[in-house]
A and B are shown apart, each in its own frame.
Chain A
Amino acid sequence: MLSQKKLTSAFNLPIGSQIIGKWDRQRYTITRLLGKGAVGAVYLVKRDDGHLIALKISDQIASISSEINVLKKLTKVQGTSPGPSLFDVDDWISPTGENYPFYTMEYVKGERLDQFIQRRGMDWISLLFAQLLSELAKLHQAGFVLGDLKLENLIVTSDPIRLRFIDVGGVTLFGRSVKEYTEFYDRGYWQCGDRKAEPKYDLFSLAMVAIHCTYPKQFNKTDQPKQQLLAKLRQAKSLNRYQLFLERALLGRYKGCLEMKRDLEKHYLSRMSKNQKVILPSNHDQQTSWLEISIFSIISLITWLLAYLN
């Protein structure tokens, strides 16, 4: 959280202006600002071939180079790589002569998880978390933790609906100290463990994501952080159905992603097959959700029937 004033030109590029790479001479036109963080600014840009992609630019050479290194390694992960895919790496020389490293990546289009949940309901948590856990499992298999897992770094894409992470600034090799984290999501802060990178570190943060969704303003730490967290979890009515899983994640009882994922899957399958009424939130523009839920119910129904017939 280095609050250096980002007044520099690279962090306030006007819409329509162009960035030309120093090494590859590739041209990018700024379409809009996607967001700013501790490391740099991310713009939506148009490449000369018309593609819309995301461009992250920074004045912290060590941090951004390290992110690039991570993204490169992730492209070597089997199957679709977790996180956004990396396109080009280059430098931009500002009109005043400073050198800004930047990279371009896949534009992950969607909305923030908390907004999505607000519109479509807590029922989605188990499905979305299970998806993210598969992606995290791949990352862990490659020997890394995500580190800075938090609401701001998660996007729900719409076509197909999937929960994805975007910021790899905290990605750390197992056994090392987590490179970048945010207090509210950090088990060290809550006195629930250290900051050594291991799978359980991410699972703790993931549980905090759910807690943050129900306490949008977060809350301050008291003298008994661990007990406080568990109490907050119990008090959150909307999390009741997930309490068991989230508590396990907070206490480090899951050895890895797949174990937690299995629990979540069991949970949503049981909800679907018991023929429970699925309650839809009040908004009405959700054909996809209806469709997916009915497909789900049909599949579960068939599974159930088969089991019954045997």
Chain B
Amino acid sequence: MKQGKLKQILLITDGCSNQGEDPILVANYIQEQGITVNVIGVLDQGQTQSDSLSEVEAIATAGGGVCQLVYPQALSQTVQAVTRQAMTQTLQGVVNQELQQILGKDQTIEELPPEQRGEVIEVVEELTETSDLHLLVLVDTSASMQKKLITVKEALIDLSISMNSRVGDNQFAIYNFPGKKKPTSKVLDWSSKLNKLEAVFPKLTSGGMTPTGPALKEALYSFSQTGLLRSLRRNVEPEEADFGF
């Protein structure tokens, strides 16, 4: 099988979008473009998995990705586990399609006898380890995320330890929403390391807006800029105004 490039979006939010396009619609559209949308819903201490977070699951379902609700203290382990699971799931989907081409349209991994299934999973695992990953992280920096942002930053730095221990190459980009004067701002342009994150991680954006839909749209746009197009059109510097302590 050809060595693929996996395109994933990881949305970290506490739910409650209230501005711009419907994020579920955008997530659906993104999935059509071969990019998966995964969502981590950050709970408040003591909050049970409830209403405000049902949107979170709907976005992940529409985006063909993984959804996980989590308390801040477990964020690091969850971010890396969800990313890994998302890659596996996408690759499993690819393998399933190939299986169906070979064995007929109802054949899935689940239905294979254990012996063959083991062989298929070994291939999926190998691909998870060796595929190149393009991961765009969208961080909700609206007021309600206040107490959680430092934890998010640590979790992302931790994620790069995990991902850079893989055999395959990684490219990460980080955006936050809402931005200062627009829905979304670029925190970190596509790069293979996240160690600069410590210095540039955004502070909170005040004002009551949570434009999740527009942020997802921006993420899609950013993906379309990677690759050939991007090398021609040198990117603008990330905005200065919002960042830096």
Q: Interface on A for B, CB 8 Å cutoff? A: 1-3, 23, 61-62, 65-66, 68-69, 72, 89-91, 99, 101, 175-178, 182-183, 188-189, 194-196
Among residues of B, the one whose C-beta sits closest to the C-beta of A88 is B114
- Size of the chain B interface, CB-CB below 8 angstroms: 33
Among residues of B, the one whose C-beta sits closest to the C-beta of A4 is B68
Decide if B150 is an interface residue (CB 8 Å cutoff): no
Nearest CB of A to B186, in Å = 27
Tell me if A68 and B118 are in contact (CB < 8 A): yes
Tell me if B85 and A2 are in contact (CB < 8 A): yes
Nearest CB of A to B72, in Å = 13
Tell me if A3 and B124 are in contact (CB < 8 A): no
Tell me if B110 and A99 are in contact (CB < 8 A): yes
Tell me if A1 and B74 are in contact (CB < 8 A): yes
Q: Could you say which of B14-22, B157-165, B173-181, B214-222 contacts chain A?
A: B157-165
Among residues of B, the one whose C-beta sits closest to the C-beta of A72 is B118
Q: Which of B77-131 contact A (CB under 8 A)?
A: 77-78, 81-82, 85, 88, 92, 109-111, 113-115, 117-118, 121-122, 124-125, 129
Q: Chain B binding site: helix, strand, loop or mixed by DSSP? A: helix
Tell me if B78 and A1 are in contact (CB < 8 A): yes
What are 26 inter-chain pairs, A to B, with CB distance below 8 A?
A1-B74, A2-B68, A2-B85, A23-B114, A61-B110, A61-B121, A65-B118, A65-B121, A66-B122, A66-B125, A72-B118, A89-B114, A90-B114, A99-B111, A176-B129, A177-B129, A177-B162, A177-B163, A182-B77, A183-B76, A183-B77, A188-B162, A188-B165, A194-B165, A195-B161, A195-B165
Counted as pairs of residues, one from A and one from B, with CB atoms less than 8 Å apart, the total is: 74
Bound form: Cα–Cα A2–B164 in Å: 21
Q: Which of B127-173 contact A (CB under 8 A)?
A: 129, 158, 161-167
Measured between beta carbons, the chain A residues less than 8 angstroms from B110 are 61, 99
Measured between beta carbons, the chain A residues less than 8 angstroms from B200 are none
Measured between beta carbons, the chain B residues less than 8 angstroms from A182 are 77
Tell me if A195 and B118 are in contact (CB < 8 A): no
Among residues of B, the one whose C-beta sits closest to the C-beta of A191 is B161
Q: Chain A binding site: helix, strand, loop or mixed by DSSP? A: mixed
Nearest CB of B to A253, in Å = 21
Tell me if B167 and A176 are in contact (CB < 8 A): yes
Among residues of B, the one whose C-beta sits closest to the C-beta of A99 is B110
Given known A183-B76, A194-B161, A194-B164, contact A62–B129 (CB-CB < 8 A): no
Measured between beta carbons, the chain B residues less than 8 angstroms from A194 are 161, 164-165
Measured between beta carbons, the chain B residues less than 8 angstroms from A68 are 114, 118
Measured between beta carbons, the chain A residues less than 8 angstroms from B162 are 177, 188, 195
Q: 7 tightest A-B contacts by CB?
A: A177-B165, A195-B165, A65-B121, A89-B114, A196-B165, A177-B166, A188-B161
Bound form: Cα–Cα A299–B118 in Å: 48
Tell me if B114 and A62 are in contact (CB < 8 A): no
Bound form: Cα–Cα A194–B124 in Å: 23
Tell me if B81 and A1 are in contact (CB < 8 A): yes
Nearest CB of B to A121, in Å = 33
Among residues of B, the one whose C-beta sits closest to the C-beta of A2 is B81
Decide if B209 is an interface residue (CB 8 Å cutoff): no
Nearest CB of A to B87, in Å = 11
